[in-house]
Amino acid sequence: MAAPLLQLSNIALTFGGTPLLTGVDLSVSAGDRLCLVGRNGSGKSTMLKIAAGLIDPDSGKRFVQPDAVIRYLPQEPDLSGYASVRAYVEAGLGPSDDPHQARYLLEQLGLSGGENPSQLSGGEARRAAIARVLAPDPDILLLDEPTNHLDLPAIEWLEARLAQQRGAMVLISHDRRFLETLSQGTVWLDRGKARQLDFGFSRFEAWRDEKLAEEERDLQKLGRKIEAEEHWMRYGVTARRKRNVRRVGALAELRRNRSDRQRVPGKAVIEAAQAEKSGALVIEARKIEKSFGGEIIVRDFSTRIMRGDRIGIVGPNGSGKTTLVNLLTGTLKPDAGEIRLGANLQMTALDQRRESLDPEWTLREALTSGSGDMVEVGGEKRHVVSYMKDFLFSPEQARTPLRALSGGERGRVMLARALAKPSNLLVLDEPTNDLDLETLDVVEEMLGDYTGTVILISHDRDFLDRVVSAVIVPEGNGRWQEYAGGYSDMLAQRGKDIAGKRTPAVSKAEKKNRPQAEVAKSTRSKLNFNQKHALEQLPKQIAALQSSVLDLQSRFNDPALYERDPMAFTQISASLAKTQAELAAAEEKWLELEMLREEVERK
């Protein structure tokens, strides 16, 4: 085995009296592609800074091969002190590096190099910082949230560029698709410890959930009492993911309904006319247009949005996504065409810039607007601590001032405030920014439970696939097109990506080299009898298993069970573990068949 280029050994660090890292190890060898994962506040960014040599740990050792070139991309790049973007990027080059590479990368990222660093947007500053770390072709890249503030074309460009990178890489990101594409190993930072795993992010979450379930069972078998709040904070998200699996069917049905409305416009008009009186019609746009300064942003666009639709709007920065949303919601008047809003609409929009948050508020005050301990959620009163838990805040954080929260935590506060307001139309502009992966699961569940309509601007491809029933995309010259389904469905129908590059077809040679199971899946024209039968029976089986799990869990939670009947405790524990495994397997099988059925129906 080759000697590591970078090694952290037994790293420990304490902030404010609380241990953040305790005995952490990290080894990075040539060609490694590691993703660093963990909840917000677990120490991921701190660990990356220690690896970059920017922070000294309290104890432990950092070793770097003497000739290894390391480049670190921070979450918030600092371009101050540089006369131009080109000067900032070229300052990251070594004596033997080619300045032409810096200019080439700037051009690829849509920058000339002559821009004034003090006048850059967040996305432009991020692009400049990416060019700076890539230009030297380093041996090790340390990347902290590289997709933050980037639009989809830039994310996909960066993804392709990093896939070709020869050096090693350690990556922190909330973008699941990005992690799945690039990682070949995973470092899980949890409760101050790090475990380095020999597989990428695509297999991590299932493995982590299994490990947490094993840990919970072990603690129960030993008779230890798990404090209720920590139990929820550790294991609640796993249950959320299981419930989200069962929402795939409802989302698939919603996508089919919307696709049917698009294919049969006559029928949609009849249904809309009837539904409008009952409040089912939310927004109707007829041939709307909008221009600014002679530039056409929206041209001849029409759509009908019905109650319960989840609409994703994607496109490059500057393409007019926010303008289109403002037109659809009546905030902005079109130059031509007509916008009709349904009856009794109550809209809530996410303040993406978080300007409405007073940094001196406590978390409790931000959620209750300073009015006691109760917050109204969907027309019902809830205790603020209970609502905080929905967004992964602990009760102890109720008195924490907002200025002390991380960017991801402030993002959660904004979501909690937005989702608490009575509404039947949610407009969310980049709601996933700065959120960790587990919080994204919470947001996904909240949107899955929401009975109203959602209009969503996002650059998160995986999140779009999980949430939306249709995607609206700019096609150039102010024209927008709507596609039924999620982001991946849009790409398949459109035949090209957001940047306009045609998506590659699979060649005969590639098909020959693909695994037979994958080829069979892609060429299958219909489900066989066994698959159809399983798809019909699995929901009943899942419901029965869920009932059994609840019954066993109720019996197992009896605090006196072990003392009263140790044998029964052991038998129930084993039955519960077996039934939970059967339920997980049934849900996974149903999800696989449901996705296959949806794929077959699209052909």
pLDDT tens column, 202-234: 989 888 888 888 877 776 655 544 444 445 445
pLDDT of 245 reads 57
Kindly tell me if the per-residue pLDDT of 12 is higher than 80.
Answer: yes
> What is the per-residue pLDDT across 289-316, written as a single tens digit (0 to 9) for each?
999 988 999 999 999 999 889 999 999 8
> What is the per-residue pLDDT across 500-527, written as a single tens digit (0 to 9) for each?
665 554 443 333 333 333 333 333 446 6
d(CA 141, CA 143): 6
Provide the token pair at 48: 């990356």
Rounded (to 5) percent helix, strand, coil in the chain? 45, 20, 30
> What is the per-residue pLDDT across 232-266, written as a single tens digit (0 to 9) for each?
445 555 555 555 555 666 666 666 666 555 443 33
Q: Which domains does the chain have, with CATH numbers?
A: 6-207 (3.40.50.300), 250-346+423-504 (3.40.50.300), 529-602 (1.10.287.380)
Q: How confident is the model at residue 550 (pLDDT cuts 50, 70, 90)?
A: confident
DSSP string, 48-59: HHHHHTSS--SE
Using CA atoms in the order 246, 251, 252, 253, what is the torsion angle rounded to 10 degrees? 110
The answer to whether the beta carbons of residues 189 and 44 sit under 8 Å apart is: yes
103 phi and psi, to 5 degrees? -65, -40
> What is the per-residue pLDDT across 564-601, written as a single tens digit (0 to 9) for each?
887 887 788 778 878 877 887 788 788 778 777 776 66
DSSP string, 60-114: EEEEE-TT--EEEE-SS---TT-SSHHHHHHTT--TTS-HHHHHHHHHHTT--S-
Q: How confident is the model at residue 342 (pLDDT cuts 50, 70, 90)?
A: confident
Kindly tell me if the per-residue pLDDT of 85 is higher than 90.
Answer: yes
Kindly tell me if the per-residue pLDDT of 466 is higher than 80.
Answer: yes
pLDDT of 242 reads 55
